[in-house]
């Protein structure tokens, strides 16, 4: 029986915790998660998704504000008969003292194929960069940022119209099985940790406010990848008000779809080049077509400030959008 403590905070980590709880040869002793946060319009103090799940399964929960400085939590962790710490999107750096506690080590499930996209936002930046495949890597944690020796990987293709929420959901469902297999092989000594090649390392930095701003002078494909990578927060300006762009289809300068797939559309009729941001056409039952710095972008779904998300077609009809109106940069 492998005994472990689970470290995680957001919904992304929940399927991994549930899968570990289901495994008969694994015992989850408890969960470490971030302190309750005030969220929503009412600023209510709410627990993390991992805390809610842990409590439903009768697990003890520890919520140190700073795990590296919390001597009481550290002492509790040392007192547990633990074989491994499993870390999935916890949100704090673990100290060398914590890393040294479990017999099998601290094992992290990271949302990329390391050493690519180390850091805080691997899923978002992989989509932003137009990657065609990604996956998960389990690794033995060390004091660096996602620099530990790699254990197992799981690879998946990325649909060219998939957004960050959808991809994160898929990866979260894959993570649990990969962690179970990793723990099983570590216990049997049938897995060889592989050091990461520093020369191949890339970083997925924290997303900043400016990353959400759309610049219509950019190519259509770049804008499309920005929208799906930073879903649902990419923003432009329409009639002086913020407008979130949440799903798009990119076309080349001839009006031909740049991407194939189930969500692509037939070629558009030949369009006359306008200034980036101009509405050059409104595709029936689809939505407005926007001129970009290179090609065109169909707005499939949008969200006006204070309103619910709607289709581009409903947006165009509801506001009587006209050809040659302009969307400003975010």
Distance (Å, whole) CA 294 – CA 28: 53
d(CA 35, CA 49) in angstroms, rounded, equals: 11
Q: Is the peptide bond before 126 cis (omega within 30 degrees of 0)?
A: no
Q: Is 125 helix (H, G, I), strand (E, B) or coil?
A: helix
Strand partners, 248: 299
Within 10 Å of residue 255's Cβ, how many Cβ atoms?
17
| Dihedral of alpha carbons 164, 168, 171, 175, sign | positive
| 112 is annotated as contributing to ligand binding | yes
8 A C-beta contact, residue 106 and residue 99: yes
**15 known ligand binder:** no
Q: What is the DSSP string of 188-226?
A: HT----B---GGG--EEPPP-GGGGB--TTSBHHHHHHH
Question: Is 113 annotated as contributing to ligand binding?
Answer: yes
64 annotated ligand-binding residue: no
Q: Is the dihedral of CA 236, 241, 245, 248 positive or negative?
A: negative
The binding site consists of 112-115
The binding site for (6S)-5,6,7,8-tetrahydrofolate consists of 112-115
């Amino acid at each position: 029986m492998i005994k472990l403590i689970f470290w995680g905070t957001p919904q992304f980590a929940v399927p991994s915790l549930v899968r570990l709880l289901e495994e008969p040869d694994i015992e989850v002793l408890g969960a470490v998660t971030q302190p309750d946060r005030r969220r929503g319009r009412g600023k209510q103090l709410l627990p993390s998704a991992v805390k809610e799940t842990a409590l439903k399964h009768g697990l003890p929960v520890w919520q140190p504000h700073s795990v590296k400085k919390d001597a009481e939590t550290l002492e509790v962790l040392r007192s547990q008969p633990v074989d491994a710490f499993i870390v999935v999107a916890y949100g704090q750096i673990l100290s060398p003292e914590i890393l040294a506690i479990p017999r099998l080590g601290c094992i992290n499930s990271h949302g990329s194929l390391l050493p690519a996209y180390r850091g805080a936002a691997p899923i978002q930046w992989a989509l932003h960069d137009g990657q065609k495949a990604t996956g998960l890597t389990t690794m033995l944690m060390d004091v660096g940022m996602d620099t530990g020796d790699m254990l197992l990987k799981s690879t998946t293709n990325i649909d060219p119209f998939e957004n960050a929420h959808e991809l994160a959901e898929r990866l979260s469902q894959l993570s649990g099985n990969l962690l179970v297999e990793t723990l099983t092989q570590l216990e049997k000594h049938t897995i060889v940790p592989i050091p990461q090649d520093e020369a191949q390392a890339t970083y997925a930095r924290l997303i900043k406010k400016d990353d959400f701003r759309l610049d219509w002078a950019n190519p259509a494909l770049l804008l499309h990848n920005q929208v799906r990578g930073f879903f649902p927060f990419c923003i432009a300006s329409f009639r002086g008000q913020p407008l979130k762009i949440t799903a798009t289809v990119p076309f080349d300068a001839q009006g031909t779809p740049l991407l194939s797939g189930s969500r692509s559309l037939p070629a558009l009729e030949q369009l006359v080049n306008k200034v980036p941001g101009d509405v050059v056409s409104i595709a029936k039952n689809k939505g407005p077509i926007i001129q970009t710095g290179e090609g065109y972008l169909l707005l499939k779904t949008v969200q006006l400030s204070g309103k619910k998300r709607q289709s581009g077609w409903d947006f165009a009809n509801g506001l009587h959008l006209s050809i040659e109106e302009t969307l400003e940069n975010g």
